[in-house]
Amino acid sequence: MKKTTTRLADGRELIYYDARDDSVRDAVDQRPLDATTTASEIRHDPLLGEWVAIASHRQGRTYHPPADQCPLCPSGPGRHSEIPAADYDVVVFENRFPSLTGGPGPQAATGPDGIFTSRPGAGRCEVVCFTPDHHASFADLTPGQAALVLDAWTDRTAELAQLPGVAQVFCFENRGAEIGVTLSHSHGQIYAYPFITPRTERMLARLADHHRRTGRNLFDDVLDAERAAAERVVVEGDHWTAFVPHAAHWPYEVHLYPNRRVPDLLALDDAARAEFPHVYLELLRRFDRLFTTPDTPRPAPTPYIAAWHQAPVDHPRRRDFALHLELFTIRRTEGKLKFLAGSESGMSVFINDVPPETAAARLRQVATTGHPGTALARP
């Protein structure tokens, strides 16, 4: 992998990740952009103990542009995008409309006993472009291209974890207008948070509680139990296991774990890195076939969220945390979405219409063959 760093016209950083070592990236951003001046704030919710980002400048972000004005396509004659080059393999750049931006600053407290707490929304938000092809998706990538994306995620995790004030790095992909995606070009994002996210805090608390009670690691026990039960296992490789969790929140939800526990992407060994593209591409392709029937042989692409859970940058239980990816869709059947209504949005109590065992069986049913390094689990 060759890494080339440059700057866009407004000062934002852009990084090319190329599979070929002889790639030359000397294109210059020709757009007349003013220097970026974005800022955000985080406010603490005293009832839930959670931070909320306030970023009003995001109201003006690009919204469903036509294909010939896509900012994530390569630049061409008479058309300048966020990527100055005429072609690319993988590109990462600072988000023009970030939710978190800048360095750490002082905390302010107002109200009785300082109950209203806020501070700058320090951190960084980046965009990851997986392919120059406007009409392709991650599932269309070759294993080599997917491996390059994994290398980019890993490199950005290492770099962002070193920024002052960053507590956690989150790589993710939103796919589909139903999810809320405003740019249809295949891409993901990376957030460098100035705090540990609420979901991770809850996992760390459960991890500590389980260790106090049993002396064992909760992540290890969950993975071992799912592999032993087998009925919810979807894909089993030599180095990765994908399963629908026993208490899945979403209609079709898969958790992908390396068989050897590691805290983050940087700690994956060469064998796990080599197998990952085959397993992950297989999962994404199955997601796109979930709702295929004789009546709908070519349904709309399945909307999904793919979220990497990594250990916080600095935490006493960092080495006990298990890197894993959660992949889920909000589609529960063809033409019907799972909306977060009263119980889910109001009380955080999920109600799943698809039994996890049924979801796992369907994901095994739509398997493909011929993907090296991937053994298909049987019911």
185 is in an annotated binding site: yes
Cα–Cα distance measured from residue 347 to residue 227, given in angstroms and rounded to the nearest whole number: 31
Q: Which of 57, 80, 187, 324 is catalytic?
A: 187
Cα–Cα distance measured from residue 104 to residue 96, given in angstroms and rounded to the nearest whole number: 19
Q: For residue 378, what are the CA distances in angstroms to 243, 363, 367?
A: 12, 11, 11
Looking at this protein, which amino acid is placed at residue 327?
L
70 is in an annotated binding site: yes
211 is in an annotated binding site: no
The number of helix segments (H) and strand segments (E) in the chain equals: 6, 18
Tally of CB atoms within 10 A around 76: 11
Q: How many angstroms from the chain centroid is the CA of residue 212?
A: 31
134 is in an annotated binding site: yes
Cα–Cα distance measured from residue 368 to residue 139, given in angstroms and rounded to the nearest whole number: 13
The reply to whether 246 belongs to the active site is: no
Contact 288, 186 (CB under 8 A): no
Q: Among 293, 173, 182, 306, which residue's Cα sits nearest to residue 250?
A: 306
Specify binding-site residues for Zn(2+): 70, 73, 134, 185
Specify binding-site residues: 70, 73, 134, 185
Active site positions, annotated = 187
